[in-house]
Chain A
Amino acid sequence: MSRGLNALERAIDWALIGGGGLVCAVVMINVIARYLLNVSLAWVNEFGETVFVWLTFLGSAKAVRRFGHLAVLEFVDALPPRLSRLLFVALWGLTAAVLATMAWYGAQISLSNMSQRMSVTGWPVGVLYWAMPVGAVLMLVFVVEQILSGKTFRDEAAEAPESRA
């Protein structure tokens, strides 16, 4: 199972790299085009917003797997292993429940926005909203993986990146 999920995580990595690079480039090109060619690329805002929302939910899934979400761990760091595990399972179960509602209602929102069009690109507005249920399902998968693989807050404290914005 973990090998398949590693591949999934790598796919997310490449989406983040590609999408992130693209969105930086597009905004930059818009500045250059405005000053050198005197044209304003009207689609940049809609395109940028759509890619950005996808990057946010995909990046959030990656952050779930790598324990990157902002959390206060100082009070649970020192818990004895059994208690730490119990609390971890309870809280991650709660997270899974929240994510399930996010996936379900996110899909409802996306479906009901498929016929509405963005004003410049003409894309269905739902294309932007689909990022939420897709991201929520990915996050849910990683949360369940962490519950099943016996993780505790100690793992989170050990793996959490220190450079949070």
Chain B
Amino acid sequence: MTFALVMVVFFGLALVGLPIVWSLLVATIVYMMMSDGGYTLEGLYLAFAGGVEPFHLLAVPMFIVAGELMSVGGVSARLIAFARTCLGFLPGGLGVVTVSSSMAFAGISGSAVAGSAAVGSVMIPGMCRRGYSASFAAALVAVSGTIGIIIPPSIPMIVYAFVGNVSIRDLFLAGFIPGILLGLALIGYCMWVGKTRGWDPGERMASRGEVWRAFLPSLPALSMPVVVLGGIFGGVFTPTEAGAVAVLLALVIGLASRDLKAGDVPRVLRDSFVTSATVMMVIGATTALAWVITLEGVPFMIVDAIKAWTTSKEVFLLLVNVLLLLLGIFIEPVPALILTAPLLLPVAKAMGVDPVHFGLILTFNLALGLFTPPVGGTLFVAAKIAGVRMGEITRDLLPMFGLSLVVLAIVTYAPAVVLAPVTWFR
């Protein structure tokens, strides 16, 4: 009961514009005052500091820095040029190129918004020139950008790994199949749209020489996921160290190609560490809240309440999906993840759901939240680049949302398929 009131305090404050970190701290302090556990503010802030200090969370800012360096350093432009030479001949070719470059960018960046911005700034104007409607182009970029947090590396997965005490490596491995499935579904849809609406019959097929000439300049970018992810999966370095390796590679590739100026680097470092600080502060505040609710035994109460209602794993997962889709409409993936994981993971474990599988379900759900109107990171970026209103995008989003739900259903109910890479490497 007290816990429900605390949630009301949190959502009440957050929805009237108080930053999430302060909303969480106020809710936690209210909780401490209402229960008679003898909690002190000193304990609260000690828990807060404990949440922000773990060394492996350094992977978060590092992958943000690497992603930013690659956006500034022309890596996305080269990936797009290569994808266009290879796939531009298909019907709906430019749509196919948008999705496939988003997938390639996802393999080197851990943020969905960065991917949408990098690919969208080139592809939305390109698609509009070819005759696509601006709202379709924006919707496609908003949806395909979310593959950025499904295919590894993924910042929300790094955070979940910390909150849920799961291996980052396993989570990363689990992201491949869902990300590729979503990408293929979107590619199929683009081909169908390009043909039926007559927007884009496809370009002339490129010759082998042209493919080669586009391949060479994108080779360093394409080799990055091999080095970074291969290093993690092969046990050569930890995910945190992989972040540092990614930063170094992005820096070398960007400077060598002269697309990145040395003068850009300080700004990228500053902005990336500010972004990571806002994420870390929410992690700290959630750790403080989790400290109180764990001592109060709230997760057990939730487990009991849900078990009294249903003992079916399938029904529970359906419930989780609905809850997260609703939450994802308003709250960005990382804070939503940190809020829900400590409460839902104990229930999931009690129901026999694999924690890696559960993390994947959470990430995929919240990725959808990035483009569900009216609020969402990739939705905002894409709408802004295309200069279209939410209402117009929504109509074009619906079929893509439907496809994403189909993939979500596969992710949720066919764990043997999506977790196959995890079992291979175990």
**Which chain A residues have a beta carbon within 8 Å of chain B's beta carbons?**
13, 16-17, 19-21, 23-24, 27-28, 30-31, 45, 48-49, 52-53, 55-60, 62-63, 66, 68-76, 87-88, 91, 94-95, 98, 101-102, 105-106, 108-109, 128-129, 132, 153, 156, 161-165
Contact = CB atoms under 8 A, between A and B. Distances in A.
Interface in B17-33: 17-22, 25-26, 29
Contact of B17 (A45, A68, A91, A164): A91
A60 B281 contact: yes
B244 A69 contact: no
B257 interface: no
B194 interface: no
Given A72-B15, A87-B17, A109-B49, A59 B274 contact: yes
B53 A49 contact: yes
Nearest to B380: A162
B55 A53 contact: no
A87 B16 contact: yes
Contact of B381 (A94, A105, A106, A163): A163
Contacts of A62: 270, 274, 277
Interface of B: 13-22, 25-26, 29, 41-42, 44-46, 48-49, 52-55, 57-58, 60-62, 64-65, 111, 113-114, 117, 155, 237, 240-241, 243-245, 247-248, 265-266, 269-282, 284, 330-332, 334-335, 374-375, 377, 380-381, 384
B15 A75 contact: yes
Contacts, number: 198
Contacts of B279: 70, 165
B53 A165 contact: no
B56 to A, nearest CB: 9
Contact of B281 (A69, A101, A129): A69
Nearest to B41: A105
A27 B238 CA distance: 10
A6 to B, nearest CB: 15
B45 A59 contact: no
A24 B277 contact: no
Contacts of A69: 19-22, 278, 281
Contacts of A129: 49
Contacts of B274: 16, 59, 62-63, 66, 68
A49 B54 contact: yes
Q: Which of A27, A66, A105, A132 has its CB near the most chain B CB atoms (within 10 A)?
A: A27
Contacts of A60: 21, 277-278, 280-281
Contacts of B52: 52-53, 56
A164 B113 contact: yes
A70 B278 contact: yes
A76 B26 contact: no
A159 to B, nearest CB: 13
B15 to A, nearest CB: 6
18 contacts: A20-B65, A21-B265, A21-B269, A52-B55, A52-B61, A53-B53, A55-B273, A56-B276, A68-B278, A69-B19, A73-B17, A87-B17, A98-B22, A98-B25, A101-B29, A101-B41, A102-B25, A102-B45
Nearest to B14: A72
Q: Which 7 A-B pairs have the closest CB atoms?
A: A59-B277, A69-B19, A27-B244, A76-B17, A28-B244, A20-B269, A71-B19
A20 B277 contact: no
Nearest to A30: B241
B28 to A, nearest CB: 10
A53 B26 contact: no
A136 to B, nearest CB: 9
Nearest to B17: A76
